[in-house]
Amino acid sequence: MGEGPLSDLLVLDLTRALAGPHAAMMLGDMGARVIKVESPAGDDSRGWGPPFLGDGEDRESTYFMSANRNKESLVLDLKTEADRDVLARLVEQADVLMENFRVGVLDRLGFSVERLHELNPRLIVLSITGFGHDGPEASRSGYDQIAQGEGGLMSITGTEQPTKVGVPIADLIAGMYGAYGVLAALHERSTTGRGRVVRTSLLAGMVGVHAYQGTRWTIAGEVPGLAGDHHPSIAPYGMFATGSAPIQIACGSDNLWRLLCGAFGWDPAEADFASNALRVANRAALTARMEATFAAEPAEHWLALLADAGVPSGKVRSMDDVYTWDQVRSQGLLLDVEHATKGSLQLPGSPIRFDDQPFSGGRSEHLAPPTLGQHDASIRDWLDTLDA
């Protein structure tokens, strides 16, 4: 592709669903050439919907489109010797291979780690599993909602009962950690000249984002419960009802508390609320006081007042509001692409920007998610030129 900080890399994406495809897409956004190797049936997520774009056999899943921009699609039936030979030729040329098969599947197809490194000693292999490649439960299948529960995230999410996050966060986090590990291994390869295997899992990703909730247990011996809409260790820091829509406020310091009190004519040294620890202990009373005040006016009134006072606050935006928000558009977070069969599409973009670029990712032109097998001929022709 010739553009972006990773434009000299070739990535083979043998993954399906979301965790692995997201990791590969992150590298593609930065300019890597990503060849998505699919079975004749295609990535499972091609069938996940509604919603779909189009009807019948030509329909395209919006779910698939969320994780597969900046890729080429090659169909290989790895149960056949001929297509296994094609994959072996690709491995010889690749810098990175990503897979999220169940433990042992790739070995049975004839592409164990040892074989991959025989074909290409410089190859970085990313393996994403559900619960880890070893240990007593390594054989379990990995599905996002199961991992959110098993990894503890659901136990601290929600108000009245455990609730999953509104996106497949276990998949997305595992993909991000996977891409992070791949870049570290590529950096190491620049010194050693050899590849290695990078491993992560949906379970590891969930434990990896516990942050202060994890140390509440490992250090303080506290078992965190449902966090709801308020921070467990800071107050006032959360969502509050107003005369119209809810708003969010983040008083992350005593100075911000004093600014908030100044805006409302309250005494910041009042006995029950004079310190953060007291405000956390008396959160229910503090929340009741704030919401009683906020009930008198709509959200917009309070957001303007808080902004003038210098208190961090914000709306709870719906998705349509987010994608039409001028600030989101100013950050290059929407991409215009040309799909092979569906024409012009707009996709959410990469969250990374470089200092000399107004757009997201490392490339100025992004590829639409491919149709199944869209690049079969061009990839095979390219391999043939290498053998000539």
3-state SS of 211-251 is: CHHHHHHHCCCCCCCCCCCECCCCCCEEEECCCCCCEEEEC
Collapse the DSSP code of 30 into the 3-class scheme (helix H, G, I; strand E, B; otherwise coil) and give the result.
Answer: coil
For 264-289, the pLDDT digits (tens) are 999 999 999 999 999 999 999 999 99
The secondary structure element, H or E, covering residue 380 is helix 376-387
Residues, the chain, total? 388
Q: Look up the CATH number of domain 237-316.
A: 3.30.1540.10
Is residue 191 packed enough to be buried (19+ CB in 10 Å), middle (13-18) or exposed (0-12)? exposed
What is the set of active-site residues?
231
The answer to whether 144 and 168 are in contact (CB under 8 A) is yes
Bond before 50 cis per omega within 30 degrees: yes
The secondary structure element, H or E, covering residue 75 is strand 72-75
| CATH 3.40.50.10540 assigned to 10-209+328-387 | yes
CATH 3.40.50.10540 occupies which residues in the chain? Answer: 10-209+328-387
d(CA 139, CA 296): 56
pLDDT confidence of 103, banded at 50, 70, 90? confident
- Amino acid 83: pLDDT: 97
- Amino acid 2: pLDDT: 55
> Taking all residues of the chain, what is their mean pLDDT, rounded to a whole number?
95
Residue 181 has pLDDT above 90, yes or no: yes
pLDDT confidence of 56, banded at 50, 70, 90? confident
Q: Taking Cα atoms as reference points, which of 296, 174, 173, 312 lies closest to residue 244? A: 296
- Amino acid 357: pLDDT: 74
Q: Give buried/exposed letters for 195-229 (b at 16+ CB in 10 A, else e).
A: bbbbbbbbbbbbebbbeebeebeeeeeeebeebee
For 227-267, the pLDDT digits (tens) are 899 999 999 999 999 999 999 999 999 999 999 999 999 99
How are strands ordered across the β-sheet holding 124-129? 72-75, 33-38, 10-13, 96-99, 124-129, 197-201
Question: Encoding tokens for residue 20?
Answer: 């692995």
CATH 3.30.1540.10 occupies which residues in the chain? Answer: 237-316
Q: Of the given ranges (192-196, 357-361, 372-376), which has the lowest mean pLDDT?
A: 357-361
Nearest 5 degrees, angle CA 100-CA 117-CA 130? 15
- Amino acid 1: pLDDT: 46
* Amino acid symbol at 108: R
User: 176: which residues sit within 8 A by CB, 6+ positions away?
Assistant: 22, 23, 26, 205
For 291-344, the pLDDT digits (tens) are 999 999 999 999 999 999 999 999 999 999 999 999 999 998 999 999 999 999
